[in-house]
Structure formats: C-alpha cells, structure tokens
Amino acid sequence: MIDLHTHSIFSDGELIPAELIRRASFMGYTAIAITDHVDFTNIEHILSCMKEVSTLEEDYDMDIFTGVELTHVPPSKLGKLVGKARNLGADIIVVHGETIAEPVLPDTNHVALSLDIDILAHPGLITVEDAELAKDNGICLEITSRAGHNRTNGHVARIARETGTGLVVNTDTHAPGDLVNDETAFRVALGAGLYENEAQKATGAQPLRMVKSLK
C-alpha cells in the first residue's frame, strides 16, 4: 500500500507520527506521506516538527515523506502558501479540494491546479476543464476511502477517465481504523467505477511513480 495523504496528532489525527508509521507498516505499507492540515498560522511549526520523521525509514521497510495539506486556504492565497511549503522542505503538497462534505471556497480546485502541487484531495464535483488542467500540470486527483469525502469518487473517476487525468487512491487517515491494505484500496477504486486495469494503476503504478519522483 502506498498512501500519500494521512494526518497525525500535529493537526487533527489521533496518532503521533511514530505510531502512525508503525501501524502503517503492520498493514503492509511500502510508502506513506504524513500531510497534516496547514495554513499560514501553523505551516512552519508543522514542518519543523516533522523534520526527523524520515529517520524512521531505518526501522521500517518503508519510504516516509513529509508533506502538508493546504486546507481551507482562500484561493487568492494558495500560491504564496505553496511557495512557502516548498521553501520549508515539504516533500509533497496536497490541497484540500472542493469536497461536498465541507464548505470549501469556490475556485479552490481551479487555482490549486495551476500551482506546483502534487495531489488535489477529494476534489468533489470537479469540472472537465479543471481535470484537464490537472493533467497538463502533472497533478493527480484523489480517490479517497474517507467517509463523506468519498461521496463523489464516482464523479472523479468518470471525469478522470474522460480526460486521461492521473488518479491515486489515498485514505486521508485520521484514526488507526482509517488505514487500509492493498486489497481494500483496490476495492475502493473499483467501487468508484474504475475498471480493473484503471484500479490497478491508481493503487499501484501511479502512486509508485510519484514515490520514485519524490526520492
């Protein structure tokens, strides 16, 4: 399992990074990114706290990445915060997309997909235009196993197929029970309406390609 969207106690997760990583290892993970929620008020604190997390790679057969999820940031300020995240050493940048489960500001998807980010999380009722923008900029859209956010997985899968946009399956883990194994991730992808070959790519080849680019 490769999971590029998880949260620790440093934002709204339940586990400290060490326990999150240990539990992920037990579930058979080969790579994980801890992407705690950030805005301008806490990004420096979050990334400074996570500087040593990659040292746990010595203890587990797993690639570990430090990331952030830019969350409920006004679209006009996203560009500045993306730049700040890169300058502070974030390996991976996720933007909290326009999920229908929360009141995310309009145009968040569109603006985020024009920036130097890696994944647009739970992008809700994303448009064809924005999916094409993601494809052009090498940004993956997320199929999520997280309740609430996963209500539009089918729409995201259909639009991604129509436009040829890359997909990754992530858990958006906040609690121990949110972690899944490869089989469950594959079933989530199938449940979103992906064909078997598409589900295999979204849970295997595509996230693996991202991991290799991050190393």
Nearest to 93 by CA among 37, 31, 44, 172: 37
Each residue's pLDDT expressed in tens, for the chain with a length of 215 residues: 999 999 999 999 999 999 999 999 999 999 999 999 999 999 999 999 999 999 999 899 999 999 999 999 999 999 999 999 999 999 999 999 999 999 999 999 999 999 999 999 999 999 999 999 999 999 999 999 999 999 999 999 999 999 999 999 999 999 999 999 999 999 999 999 999 999 999 999 999 999 999 88
Tally of domains in the chain:
1
- What is the spatial distance between Cα 156 and Cα 50, in angstroms, rounded to a whole number? 31
Burial of residue 84 (CB within 10 Å: 0-12, 13-18, 19+) is: middle
**Who's near 41: CB < 8 A, 6+ residues apart?**
none
For residue 73, the enclosing domain spans 2-214
- Enter the pTM of the model: 0.97
Gyration radius of the chain over CA positions: 16
- What is the spatial distance between Cα 32 and Cα 79, in angstroms, rounded to a whole number? 25
- For residues 46 and 68, the answer to whether their CB atoms sit within 8 Å is yes
Residue 90 identity: A
| Helical H segments across the chain, by residue range | 17-26, 43-49, 75-87, 108-112, 128-136, 153-163, 182-191, 196-200, 206-214
The residue with tokens 């309406």 is 193
132: domain CATH number? 3.20.20.140
